[in-house]
């Protein structure tokens, strides 16, 4: 399903080249669950972003269902992400001018042929799954960090992605929500 081959990524930091990823290769099959662990600054978030098509490596190859991601332009990647990829960001990436319901609905609004009623119903179902249905009309600024994280989790699942990338998905959740 997802193949990453010989991935490399470096950054210029204070005029010096910092290699973050060097010859990283792995394969994930459908139904598999993997965790990438390491200290802060070791490249975990960079690896997730590149694997999800949100960033570009210096070189290497990424295939999702046999489709080479690095040969896609930005519009093609956005369409692919909207159809097949879910991402839970470490810092939520909620749109501050949209309420919780609108934030959760956004992937379907942008990438589906569902009616607005169907989208709203599906979003409310996901909000209920993360115990946030009663906060559907609240904006991100009116929510705690844990509540924002739950909104981000609901948004990442609403379009039934084929693969989900989660960057510190439980960092802002209490123990009860982590278990759910």
Q: Within 10 Å of residue 86's Cβ, how many Cβ atoms?
A: 20
Percent of the chain with pLDDT over 70: 93
Q: Give per-residue pLDDT as tens, 80-89.
A: 888 888 888 7
Give me the pLDDT at residue 180, please: 60
Q: Which residues of 56-80 are buried (b: 16+ CB within 10 A; e: fewer)?
A: ebeebebebeeeebeebeeeebeeb
Average per-residue pLDDT in the chain? 90
Model confidence at 170: pLDDT above 80: no
The C-alpha atoms of residue 167 and residue 154 are separated, in whole angstroms, by 15
Q: Give per-residue pLDDT as tens, 137-146.
A: 999 999 998 8
Model confidence at 173: pLDDT above 70: no
Q: At what angle do helices 100-111 and 74-84 cross, to 10 degrees?
A: 120
The residue ranking higher by pLDDT, 169 or 44, is: 44
Q: What is the pTM of this model?
A: 0.77
Phi and psi at residue 94, in whole multiples of 5°?
-80, 150
Q: Give per-residue pLDDT as tens, 84-132.
A: 888 887 777 899 999 999 999 998 998 878 999 999 999 999 999 999 9
SS (H, E, C) 84-133: HEEEECCCCCCCCCCCHHHHHHHHHHHHCCCCHHHHHHHHHHHHHHCCCH
Q: Are 5 and 25 in contact (CB under 8 A)?
A: yes
Domain boundaries, the chain: 2-71, 100-179
The C-alpha atoms of residue 102 and residue 109 are separated, in whole angstroms, by 9
Give me the pLDDT at residue 82, please: 81
Give 61's pLDDT tier (boundaries 50, 70, 90).
Answer: very high
What's the CATH code, domain 2-71?
3.40.50.300
């Amino acid at each position: 399903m997802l193949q990453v081959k010989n991935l490399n990524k470096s950054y210029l930091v204070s005029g010096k080249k910092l290699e973050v990823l060097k010859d990283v290769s792995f394969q994930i099959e459908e139904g598999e669950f993997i965790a990438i662990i390491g200290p802060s600054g070791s490249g975990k978030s960079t690896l997730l972003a590149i694997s999800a098509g949100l960033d570009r490596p210096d070189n290497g190859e990424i295939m999702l269902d046999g489709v080479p991601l690095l040969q896609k332009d930005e519009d093609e990647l956005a369409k692919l992400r909207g159809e097949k990829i879910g991402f839970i960001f470490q810092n939520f990436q909620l749109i501050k001018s949209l309420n919780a319901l609108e934030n959760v609905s956004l992937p379907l609004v942008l990438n589906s042929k569902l009616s607005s009623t169907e989208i709203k119903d599906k979003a409310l179902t996901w909000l209920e799954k993360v115990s946030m249905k009663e906060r559907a009309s609240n904006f991100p600024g009116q929510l705690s960090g844990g509540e924002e994280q739950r909104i981000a989790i609901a948004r990442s699942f609403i379009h039934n992605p084929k693969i989900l990338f989660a960057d510190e998905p439980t960092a802002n959740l209490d123990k009860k929500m982590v278990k759910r």
